[in-house]
């Protein structure tokens, strides 16, 4: 029996671990948190802090794993690559893993390859920050160089905003580094690209809508297919594939994040080398019939990914509405009671819905990815009708706060 190692065993990994086992694989999972839900699902659970690569390598050797992967955890991507390299297993390589998780390294690579992207500068000190703003102008975006999930991401309107937020952005970076970028106004697009033997095949491109205000970076609605068309749609696919090649990914799943601007251009925000979180794998499954976890398992084991596993089987318009506080459908405050999702799931077109919330927790205004407390996925004949359905169904969620 073949064995795969999952690096990280949180909520996102749990289902993938179950799927790997159902497919007849033996699963070893590592996480530093003994309560991580994926550990209970695995054949072998190891309490290992995966930031300690040697410890993960040791566990991988001891259990004679044939492949290593993660799902949705950006911090695990360099670890997976390093473990694979050390054990001679299939992987994306540590250089590519670095370029696809460290925002400054990524921007430098993309710049060398001529991939369109915002102006940027690396920042470690307040002095460098002010110099960066001179180059980049206002509005700007400040973010940690190596974090994720919108932690420590700020929009800057003035030099005072830099003084106010630089500390918080640097604090989210394990290497105390931040990046300042030109703020690009436009429609955000999420791509999914499957890369095999150096050939990048775009799978989906969808709108990622965001709330106004402080949570400006949080994806709270996905709409498939994307609402751009014609030349800009072609350009978005071209830029996504160009970026993936520029970053050196030859086998893997890429998650390009783009901005489509009103002048018809497209700029790259970042490209991750993993299955995205935030229900993007569900999006791929419902919208195209492609199972990203199956693709990732095959790639981790060095198996061939046949065309029928990597190419869209169909094109089903859909929308995903995340459940958040205002302007989303959830109330803020301490949760007193949670109803069932029965009415939501019975709504026309709804194919999947979930609420991750328990009584006594506090729902806060939207600021981070983590403030999304559930989602509703609806399908329809058109993307906009799917969005209307997901919106309407999400209003049927019963949560009472005090």
CB of 211 to ligand ADP, least distance (A): 10
3-state secondary structure the chain: CCEEEEECCCHHHHHHHHHHHHCCCEEEEEECCCCCHHHHHCCEEEECCCCCHHHHHHHHHHCCCCEEECCCCHHHHHHHHHHHHHHCCCCCCHHHHHHCCCHHHHHHHHHHCCCCCCCEEEECCHHHHHHHHHHHCCCEEEEECCCCCCCCCEEECCHHHHHHHHHHHHHCCCCCCEEEEECCCCEEEEEEEEEECCEEEEEEEEEEECCCHHHCCCCCEEEECCCCCHHHHHHHHHHHHHHHHHCCCCCEEEEEEEEECCCCCEEEEEEECCCCCCCHHHHHHHHHCCCHHHHHHHHHCCCCCCHHHHCCCCCCCEEEEECCECCCCECCEEEEEECCCHHHHHCCCEEEEEECCCCCCEECCCCCHHHCCEEEEEECCCHHHHHHHHHHHHCCCCEEEC
Shortest spacing between CB 234 and ligand ADP, in angstroms: 22
Nearer to ligand ADP, 207 or 270 (CB): 270
Nearer to ligand ADP, 132 or 396 (CB): 132
What mask, x for binding ligand ADP by CB under 6 A, covers residues 78 to 117? ----------------------------------------
User: Binding-site residue total for ligand ADP (CB under 6 A)?
Assistant: 17
Q: Which is nearer to ligand ADP, 60 or 170 (CB)?
A: 170
Residue pair 69/297 in contact (Cβ under 8 Å)? The answer is yes
Instruction: Considering the complex, state which of residue 216 and residue 385 has its C-beta at the smaller distance from ligand ADP.
Output: 216
- 188 forms part of the interface with ligand ADP (CB under 6 A): yes
CB nearer ligand ADP, residue 3 or residue 117: 117
Nearer to ligand ADP, 185 or 308 (CB): 185
Identify the residue among 215, 217, 278, 329 touching ligand ADP (CB under 6 A).
217
257 touches ligand ADP by CB under 6 A: yes
Interface with ligand ADP (CB under 6 A), residue from 58, 85, 183, 388: 183
Q: Is 161 in the site for ligand ADP (CB under 6 A)?
A: no
Q: Is 251 in the site for ligand ADP (CB under 6 A)?
A: no
- x/- map, 110-149, ligand ADP, by CB under 6 A: --------x----------------------x-x----xx
Name which of 150 and 316 has its Cβ closer to ligand ADP: 150
Binders in 261-320 for ligand ADP, by CB under 6 A: 269-270
Residue 191 in contact with ligand ADP, rule: CB under 6 A: no
Contacting residues toward ligand ADP, per CB under 6 A? 118, 141, 143, 148-150, 153, 181-184, 188, 210, 217, 257, 269-270
């Amino acid at each position: 029996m073949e064995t795969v190692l999952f690096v990280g065993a949180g909520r996102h990994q749990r289902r993938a671990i179950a799927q790997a086992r159902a497919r007849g694989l033996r699963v070893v999972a590592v996480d530093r948190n003994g309560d991580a839900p994926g550990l209970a699902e695995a054949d072998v659970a190891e309490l290992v802090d995966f930031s300690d690569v040697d410890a993960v390598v040791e566990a991988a050797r001891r259990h004679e794993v044939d492949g290593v992967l993660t799902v949705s955890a950006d911090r695990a991507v360099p670890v997976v690559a390093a473990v694979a390299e050390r054990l001679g297993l299939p992987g994306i390589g540590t250089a590519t893993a670095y370029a696809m998780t460290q925002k400054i390294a990524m921007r430098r690579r993309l710049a060398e390859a001529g991939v369109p992207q915002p102006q940027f500068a690396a920042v470690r000190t307040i002095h460098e920050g002010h110099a960066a703003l001179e180059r980049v102008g206002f509005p700007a975006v400040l973010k940690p160089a190596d974090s994720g999930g919108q932690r420590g991401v700020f929009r800057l309107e003035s030099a005072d905003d830099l003084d106010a937020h630089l500390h918080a952005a640097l604090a989210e970076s394990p290497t105390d580094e931040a990046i300042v970028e030109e703020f690009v106004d436009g429609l955000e697009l999420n791509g999914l690209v499957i890369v095999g033997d150096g050939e990048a095949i775009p799978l989906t491109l969808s709108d990622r809508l965001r709330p106004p205000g402080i949570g400006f970076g949080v994806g709270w609605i996905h709409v498939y297919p994307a609402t751009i068309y014609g030349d800009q749609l072609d350009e978005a696919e071209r830029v996504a594939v160009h970026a993936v090649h520029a970053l050196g990914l030859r086998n893997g799943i890429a998650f390009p994040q783009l901005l489509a601007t009103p002048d018809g251009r497209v700029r790259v925000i970042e490209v991750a080398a993993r299955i995205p979180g935030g229900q993007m794998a569900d999006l791929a499954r419902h919208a195209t019939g492609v199972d990203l976890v199956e693709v990732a398992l095959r790639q981790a084991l060095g198996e061939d990914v046949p065309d029928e596993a990597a190419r869209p089987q169909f094109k089903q318009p859909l929308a995903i509405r995340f459940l958040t506080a205002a302007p989303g459908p959830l109330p803020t405050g301490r949760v007193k009671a949670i109803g069932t999702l029965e009415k939501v799931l019975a709504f026309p077109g709804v194919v999947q819905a979930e609420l991750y919330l328990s009584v006594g927790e506090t729902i806060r205004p939207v600021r981070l990815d983590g403030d999304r407390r559930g989602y509703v996925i609806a399908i329809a004949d058109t993307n906009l009708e799917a969005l209307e359905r997901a919106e309407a169904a999400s209003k049927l969620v019963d949560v009472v706060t005090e």
